[in-house]
Structures are given as structure tokens and as C-alpha cells.
């Protein structure tokens, strides 16, 4: 129907967004000043939007007509699922790195810390704090991917209307 499956587009999006996010994390882990950290935080939020916009433009070039919200929704959700999973895993890994660098006795394997912290968080009080924060993080991922897809499709449509190349 659309030429590109939603999961193929989502994996291509993650392959583009994750290196950008890892580069920004590298800048953000060891900031020299507060200003650099604020810029890195803003760039970290905008990197998935940029990657989704690029994927949206590529996707729009393969479609016969401009996709509406109902057609974009499964694609943005698949992209948001992968972005959310990578954000959570990246956060656990950075927490493990911070513990290792601070000299606190941390496990040698980041996966061991993941299971230890998950068992602590899934008790009564930890679960009450964990669920809203994870839902909020997923909402941010969904907004990032939806805005990026919309911008990519809109940009490709506006460029095509000026050039007359996508007159399908």
C-alpha cells in the first residue's frame, strides 16, 4: 500500500536518531558549563524530531498522495515504541556509567544493575513513581515522532508544489 512497512521505516528512523542521541549524550555527560548542558538537552529533544522529519520526507516521496493523520499514526507509533525503548535502555546504561565513574560499588555488568533496580522499582512505592514517568516519557516520544513525520511530509509537499515534481 505505501511501499515502506511501518517497522522498516521505524528501524531506519532509529538508525538515524540513535547515533545523534548518543553523540549528544557524549556532550551531555561531561559538560564544561551549564549553558552547554542546556543546549545539549534541547538538542537531545530535537534529534528524534529531525530524524523523523527526514524519514517522513523519504516516506512521502514514495507515496501517491499526502498521508493524513490516520495513515501517519501507525508509523509514528512504531517509531515511538522503538525510540522509547532506546531512551529507557540508554538511561539505564548512563546511570550505570555514572555509578562506575563515581567510584560507587556498581555491578560489572549493566544488565545486572537493570534487573536489580527493576526489582526495587517494582515494589509498591517505586511502581507508583515509575508508571507515570514512563507514560510521560512515551508521550514525549510519541509527540517527537508525530511532529517529525508531519514536518517531513509537509516539507516534501511544499518542495514538490514549488518544483511540480510530486504532482500525483
Say if 50 falls within a structural domain.
yes
Q: In the chain, how many domains are there? A: 1
Q: Whole-angstrom Cα distance, residue 73 to residue 142?
A: 10
**87 located within any domain:** yes
Residue span of the structural domain in which 102 resides? 7-163
pLDDT on residue 145: 96
Identify whether the C-beta of residue 168 lies closer than 8 Å to the C-beta of residue 69.
Answer: no
Among residues 82, 68, 88, the alpha carbon closest in space to that of 137 is found at 88
Can you give 50-64 as a three-state secondary structure string?
Answer: HHHHHHHHHHHHCCC
3-state secondary structure 63-118: CCCCCCHHHHHHHHHHHHHHHHHHHHHHHHHHHHHHHHHHCCCCCCCHHHHHHHHH
pLDDT for residue 158:
85
Q: How many angstroms separate the CA atoms of 30 and 19, rounded?
A: 18
Q: One digit per residue, pLDDT tens: the chain, 168 residues?
A: 456 788 999 999 999 999 988 888 777 655 555 556 777 778 888 999 999 999 999 988 888 788 888 888 999 999 999 999 998 888 777 777 766 666 666 666 666 666 666 666 666 666 677 778 889 999 999 999 999 999 999 998 888 777 766 544
Where b means 16+ CB within 10 Å and e means fewer, 115-154 reads: eeeeeeeeeeeeeeeeeeeeeeebebbbebbbbbbbbbbe
> The pTM is what?
0.78
C-alpha cell at 27: 556532550
- Within a domain: residue 2? no
Q: Is 156 exposed, middle or buried (0-12, 13-18, 19+ CB in 10 A)?
A: buried
* Residue 168 maps to a domain: no
132 is a domain residue: yes
Q: Is 15 contained in some domain?
A: yes
Amino acid at each position: 500500500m505505501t511501499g515502506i512497512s511501518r517497522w522498516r521505516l521505524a528501524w531506519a528512523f532509529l538508525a538515524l536518531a540513535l547515533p545523534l542521541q548518543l553523540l549528544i549524550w557524549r556532550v551531555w555527560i561531561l559538560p564544561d558549563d551549564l549553558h552547554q548542558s542546556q543546549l545539549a538537552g534541547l538538542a537531545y529533544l530535537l534529534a528524534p524530531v529531525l530524524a523523523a522529519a527526514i524519514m517522513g520526507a523519504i516516506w512521502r516521496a514514495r507515496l501517491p498522495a499526502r498521508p493524513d493523520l490516520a495513515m501517519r499514526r501507525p508509523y509514528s507509533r512504531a517509531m515511538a515504541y522503538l525510540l522509547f525503548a532506546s531512551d529507557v535502555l540508554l538511561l539505564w546504561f548512563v546511570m550505570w556509567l555514572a555509578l562506575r565513574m563515581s567510584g560507587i560499588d556498581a555491578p560489572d555488568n549493566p544488565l545486572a544493575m537493570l534487573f536489580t533496580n527493576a526489582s526495587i522499582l517494582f515494589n509498591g512505592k517505586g511502581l507508583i513513581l515509575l508508571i507515570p514517568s514512563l507514560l510521560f516519557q512515551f508521550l514525549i516520544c510519541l509527540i517527537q515522532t508525530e511532529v517529525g513525520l508531519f514536518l517531513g511530509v509537509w516539507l516534501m509537499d511544499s518542495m514538490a508544489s514549488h518544483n511540480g515534481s510530486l504532482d500525483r
